Amino acid sequence: MPLKKNLRKIAIIGSGPIVIGQACEFDYAGVQACRALMSLGLEVVLINSNPATLMTDPDTATKVYIEPLEFDHVKKVLEKEKPCAIISTLGGQTALNLSIELSDRGVLKDLNIQLLGATADMIRQVEDRNLFSQMLTRLGCKYAENVLVKNFKAGMREVQKMGFPVILRPNYTLGGAGGGVAYSLEEFRGRLSIALSESPSSEVLVEKSLLGWKEFELEVMRDARGTFVIICSIENIDPCGVHTGDSITVAPQLTLSDRAYQEMRDEARKIIEEVGLETGGANIQFAVHPETGERLVIEVNPRVSRSSALASKATGFPIAKISALLAVGFHLDEITNSITQKTPSCYEPALDYVVTKIPRFDFEKYDGVEDLLSTQMQSVGEVMAIGRTFKESFQKACHSLEKREEDVSVIFSEDGLTYPNSRRMQFVLSALRLGYSVEDLHTLTRIDPWFLEQFGQIVEMEKYLQGASNKWDEGLIRRAKCYGFSDRQIARHIQAKEQDVYKYRKKKNIRPVYYKVDTCAGEFQSHTPYYYSTYWSAGNEEQKPLKPRLMIIGSGPNRIGQGIEFDYNCARGVQQFKKMGYEVGLINSNPETVSTDYDISDQLFFEPVSLEYVREVLHFFKPTTFVIQLGGQTPISLAEDLTNEGFVLAGSSLKTIDLAEDRGQFVKVCSRFGFKIPVNGLASNFKTALKIAEQVGYPLICRPSYVLGGRRMALIENEEELRAYFQRYRDFSESRPCLIDQYLDSFLEVDVDLVRGPDWSLIGGVIEHIEAAGIHSGDSMGVLPPQRLKPAVCDRIEKLSLALAEELQVLGFLNLQLAVREDEIYMLEANPRSSRSVPFISKATGIPLVDLGVSAMMKKPAEEVSPEQYNWKTLPLVCVKGVVFPFKKFKKADSILGPEMKSIGEVMGRAEDYPSALTKALISSDFKLPAKGEVFLSLRDKDKPLLLSAVQDLIGLGYTLSATGGTARWLKSEGIKCDSVRKVHEGRPHCVDRITSGKIVLVLNTTSGRRSINASFGIRRSCMDYSIPCLTESHAIQAFVLALKERGKKDISVCHLREKR
């Protein structure tokens, strides 16, 4: 059946900000769906609060609403737009839950809106653990012994009947949030109360643990005609007990016999029929006993998921796009496979390669967090690699992680093998090197022996290489490349230089070839150049160049500090380059992204974004130029080597990049332009540090000069702390000094993004940070247009910034971070590339900043670009950037903010005035705005006067206050009533008890100094665990109180990006 007749306008709900467990794979899904529906001539209304997505680009849908994904706001959008239907299955758990709510509360019925894809009943059937178990019983499927508990007492009673370990699974949560494994009653006690509070229905499934069972996933699709296909089978190398998002996985499954696989397939079909999934994609997880082969059903997700994004990239089957088409009435056999362009989409992809996904963890960013994996997802990104064999694919995936230590032997304990952690495979390899047998390791890790043997073969190859050191054995090197060894790895084993291995390979013509991902293992001709490299062949599958070629280098796995924003920049950049007449290639290793959709670029290379792999791709693709300004810091670091190899860099020259990145040179340029630079110095030991501290003055900021992304950056208040810092980190030296910076206390921080072409330049926007300088720009809330910056100073900033761009001879993007106090303007950082804030600015201002940057890079003159048509100051609305943190998922992390970036996602609040925009941003970043109740305060002295009026406002709004010692005394001295509460070390009941008892609705806690921070950790942590808003910075507190004050004064208003006002 083709398009349903009664559909004209369709709403798609996105997944909101990036959080752990729900990342840009839903942007990929949403964009695919929008494109597919728009191509049918349908009107698409998109609602999402995340400005960093391509989905919220005004060109992606007919109308784009950047609004909170919260009942009232979405309802408002639906009332205004009156769509015929909603597709609920493309925006993760967020969209599903919201759709149930809209349905339950009658909104869909009142507005006569159909729910496409999944109905509320169906969602309940798989999300409600009790109903789910009943359904499986009905079908004769097996599942792990479990019991649903609704309160603490019942939980404690039931678990004793079951025995340990057990898994806790809260109902209706995302990414396993609030769940986990408990090995003992003590552990269970703690987890149960958190799990109960996490579940929106206060229900927790306590399940007998399947630790050690093999885990599989099937990605399936069904259409309204009942056609059922398995798109991809996925096998987890990590056995059950690790969240699938945190597991290393392969596709297709590799260790099941056909009989076992077909039984699983049959069971999947039965379940999907019973669930009543009429159309769309779903994901079913199974556990298989390693010895008996007994199979249990773990979970069903009746929607597009993280795994389905992976499956789409792994197979070339665009699950989200097809889901959208099925939802509006098409059948699988009516949709042509876009890769073969002749066969229909009712088929099961056949793979003639192996795909490996490895999650990326950033535990080191969060002090005190234990590297232990469990059923609650903790990874922040992932990489995927394709190779002809598992060994090639696994090693390529390791190179893609951009973590350099991945292939080095490390010291480990057997606990590191037994208890899943982010470095376990590294430990396994190290153990194999020490002579552990496959049997030993299987006993310790429960990893299937097949995989352990493969790892063993990698280690064996290392030994051959080591044995051949000083001799260049062509056959051996060829074989090592087939095993996925990088030049750097080979160099280390044969004791040569990476560059020498490369030279030798060139001489002997040991080069990769590029094979296509074609969905059919070569059975039909592929018309889509979606490539991976392999050394298992001698002949390429080339496509003749059609137009001048250009290669964009992507940003690799998402991590803290480099995320979806760069995917937006790349994907939007591809579109603009295409418009300019280029055949655009793109290289990236991140399966979650829009940019790795083979429909976006002309040629897609799914490869590690490392020098070796990028260089080989460029040799194969032979572009006229390559682009490094769109993918964040990763491509910037490749610019020099690629230029030396003879490839032509687009836009700003190496010299410009060096000028901006080299601190010494940059300081000189800045001072010529009237920018001040924070006083700073380099110290190789505590003694020199002390001297520098005298010039710089306290507080100051210390950070290693050689570590990127703000790691180990610390705010130091006094000499004692400085000493402690140098005692904690003992690896500073002449060649690896510590950078000491003046701390710009209570400065206003702003971000400037600009583009400069050959004869023109343009300010994209100036974002004013809400928090004072000292909080990482990625962690600060921001507002555009600035609210506190004086217009005259703003003008001066713009002028100086443009002049600086001129001096640096920028061609393309430049991002500046500045700190301002009165008339002083300090330069903190310059990035000669598109920045994290580009998507936010583009959407806030309506200026197509990426397109302009791309035109600038390619030296388009002013007369073609007409930059004068854009003016960021004629903003229709105030836009506030809100920030989302993953602290909750990291059990022992501190939520206090500082110079090191810790946030993972961002949101945008758009409204006519600042307080309303602020409110929307806070709602979107999942801050609960409490209506009444007790506010707990613990403030450091210097913030007290600053916050007096905010505190008075709280009283005026009817909140009651409680505070610890000093703060309570101060409040009383100001004539403000408050309850005194004990500090933690003053004995019980203390302030943390009061928070966990549920009495407190909001916590305001500012503090500094290592000792005070440690002392108040419990306050912040309990807020995280019990989802109580906790603010740790004075300006943010002021903004929050402003939002509380203005809330409810006006009706909610929503407006789409291109709405004329």
Q: Site residues (CB under 8 A) for another protein?
A: 225-229, 233, 252-259, 261-262, 265-266, 269, 332-333, 343-344, 346-354, 388-390, 438, 450, 453, 457, 515, 520-525, 536-539, 541
> Closest CB to another protein among 152 and 450?
450
Dist CA 1004 CA 422 (whole Å): 34
Query: Smallest gap, in angstroms, from Cβ of residue 514 to another protein?
Result: 11
Q: Which of 308, 311, 320, 317 is nearest to 336 (CA)?
A: 317
Each as own residue / partner, the long-range contacts of residues 133-138 (CB below 8 Å, 24 or more positions apart, any chain) are 135/271, 135/274, 135/275, 136/271, 136/297, 138/274
Dist CA 74 CA 18 (whole Å): 19
Contact by Cβ (8 Å): 595, 574: yes
DSSP letter string over 652-701? S-HHHHHHHH-HHHHHHHHHHTT-B---EEEESSHHHHHHHHHHH-SSEE
Q: Ramachandran region of residue 774, left (φ > 0), alpha (ψ -120 to 50) or beta? A: left
Dist CA 850 CA 566 (whole Å): 11
Query: Smallest gap, in angstroms, from Cβ of residue 539 to another protein?
Result: 5
Contact by Cβ (8 Å): 606, 595: no
Dist CA 19 CA 882 (whole Å): 13
Respond yes or no on whether the N-terminal peptide bond of residue 2 is cis (omega within 30° of 0): no
CA dihedral 556, 600, 386, 288 (to 10 degrees): 100
- Side chain identity at residue 26, one-letter code: F
Q: Looking at residue 19, what DSSP letter applies?
A: B
Contact by Cβ (8 Å): 310, 332: no
> Closest CB to another protein among 255 and 787?
255
* 542 Cβ contact list (under 8 Å, min separation 6): 514, 620
> Closest CB to another protein among 536 and 698?
536
Task: Count other Cβ atoms within 10 Å, centred on residue 713.
Answer: 18
* 463 Cβ contact list (under 8 Å, min separation 6): none
Q: Which of 59, 54, 56 is nearest to 568 (CA)?
A: 54
Which uninterrupted H or E stretch holds 481? helix 474-482
Contact by Cβ (8 Å): 614, 587: yes
- Side chain identity at residue 1001, one-letter code: V
Query: Smallest gap, in angstroms, from Cβ of residue 449 to another protein?
Result: 8
* 856 Cβ contact list (under 8 Å, min separation 6): 651, 755, 756, 757, 758, 760, 761, 811, 812, 813, 865
Contact by Cβ (8 Å): 989, 1014: no
Contact by Cβ (8 Å): 236, 228: no
Assign 3-state DSSP to the chain and report helix, strand, coil percentages, each to 5. 40, 20, 40
Contact by Cβ (8 Å): 1029, 1023: yes
Q: Name the H helices within 509-628.
A: 564-579, 611-621
Query: Smallest gap, in angstroms, from Cβ of residue 492 to another protein?
Result: 25
- C-alpha distances (whole Å) from 88 to each of 2, 238, 811 are 20, 31, 43
Dist CA 932 CA 992 (whole Å): 20
Q: Looking at residue 596, what DSSP letter applies?
A: T
- Three-point CA angle 708, 709, 710, nearest 5°: 100
* 197 Cβ contact list (under 8 Å, min separation 6): 178, 1026, 1027
| Assigned token pair, 537 | 């062949």
Dist CA 751 CA 768 (whole Å): 7
Measured between its terminal Cα atoms, the distance across the chain in Å is 41
